Amino acid sequence: MTRLLYALIGCLLLALAGCGGGGSGSGGGTTSTVSGTASKGLIRNGTVTIYALNPDGTQGGQLATADTDSNGHYSATLTNYSGPILAVAYGSYVDEATGQTVTLTAANPLRAALPSASGTVSLPITGLTELAVRQAGTLTPAHITDANAVISSVFKVDILATSPVDATPSALGAAGVTAGQRDYTLALAALSQLASTSSGGTPGQKLEAALATISQGITSSNISSQTASTFVNALDSYLSTNGGVNDVVTSHGGSALVSVGSRRAVLTVAVSGAGPGINGAEFNMSFPAGVTVKSQSDGLTDNCVLGATAGTSGALLAGSFTAASGSTPGVLRVVLVSATPVIDGTILVINADVADGLTPAMADFPISFVSVVGADGAPVNGATVAVTGVSVQ
């Protein structure tokens, strides 16, 4: 038997086993639909290409290609395939931090991976899924699963089940947009802010430098404190220069992203006895050792730390923080001013960081030095302010 005949028989056996295209999936008439949003800002009228992945994690054959629409959304059909996939997206987007139009080429796309595509599946392709691909290293199903979970945990948003939106006040504040969608969008904007100050001669090179900075700081289960601080500072800088976005985020309770790299505690504060309503409140809240909030060198709290609620949407919020020292507890001084009278109920959300091993309770955050006033600036007698909830996440 000749070598050629041996080779032909080998190829036939591989084809019968369902391996002919070089991917690790199977056929058998399986049709899958993969869809999602491509964003680093929204990649409008761009291109998405989906590839099979081989058993060793290398890229296999092309399975499908699709265009993104004006909202960055794409949908692709995979015929006779189920298994691990790699999706790449390229095209133009408006950079959130600079307002410039940036073009990603086929040579430097954003990527996303799934351990298995079968049926109808969601696969956003974003700066965070790109971090997950880098985290996985070898794109085997097990590595892909672990990496997607780590990036989702670090940035406190499900990077596969959640879709980012446009980084504008109208899009972020639209009815039906969830806290997860706002956080996903803000995370991508923070990456753009970091890129704007990174080294590189072109926007693409700057983005690569920013992604590399974050990627190198992510461990097998978390993110280094230095890299987390770099990211949170970029987020705070972005919000400080985009007041409309910051207002929307504040009016919806702040953002979990302010606690990247830390365990997060969400504190709720309520007013009672407000009568017809109050227009201002000022108070101190004690913080036990091990519980802090992100703040600047002058003590002023970062954006996203203080969040309004439905009853205080549109209120002005300000805070300053001094961390606990020795036996002296920390202190958060909060000021709230609202043009609309605020009635009894939850008035404030505080996003705090909690050290490992601590499970703080409401009693750990006593409130003192309370001043509550009406529209005329006169005290509202009988009104009280208290912590009504602590949730460690």
Length of the chain: 393
Q: Which of 190, 218, 251 is the last residue of a domain?
A: 251
Is there a single domain that holds both residue 31 and residue 150? yes
pLDDT band at 24 (very low <50, low <70, confident <90, very high): low
The secondary structure of residue 213, as a DSSP letter, is H
Q: What is the pLDDT of residue 29?
A: 57
Q: What is the mean pLDDT of the chain?
A: 92
Ramachandran region, residue 118 (left: φ > 0; alpha: ψ -120 to 50; beta: rest): beta
Taking only the tens place, the pLDDT of each residue in 327-378 is 999 999 999 999 999 999 999 999 999 999 999 999 999 999 999 999 999 9
Among 154, 183, 204, identify where a domain stops. Answer: 154
Q: Is residue 199 part of a domain?
A: yes
Using CA atoms, how far apart are residues 56 and 205, in angstroms rounded to an integer? 30
Q: What residues contact 65, with CB distance under 8 A and at least 6 apart?
A: 47, 48, 49, 50, 76
User: How far does CA 350 lie from the centroid of its chain?
Assistant: 18
> The domain that contains 97 carries what CATH number?
2.60.40.10
Query: Are residues 219 and 269 both part of a single domain?
Result: no
What is the token pair recorded at 141?
A: 């199903």
Same domain assignment for residues 295 and 177: no
- Give, for 37, the enclosing helix (H) or strand (E): strand 31-39
Secondary structure element (H or E) that encloses residue 254, with its range: none
Local structure of 9: helix, strand or coil:
helix
Closest CA to 21 of 100, 81, 86, 88: 81
pTM for the complete prediction?
0.90
Q: What is the 3-state secondary structure of 90-114?
A: EEEEECCCCCCEEEECCCCCEEEEE
| 36 and 147 inside one domain | yes
Per-residue pLDDT tens over the stretch 217-249: 999 989 999 999 999 999 999 999 999 999 999
Residue 385 lies in a domain: yes
- Residue-range definition of the domain harbouring residue 51: 17-154
Angle, alpha carbons 114-77-184 (nearest 5°): 45
Cα-Cα-Cα-Cα dihedral of 87, 175, 245, 341, to 10°?
A: -160
Structural Rg of the chain based on CA atoms: 25
Q: What total of structural domains would you count in the chain?
A: 3
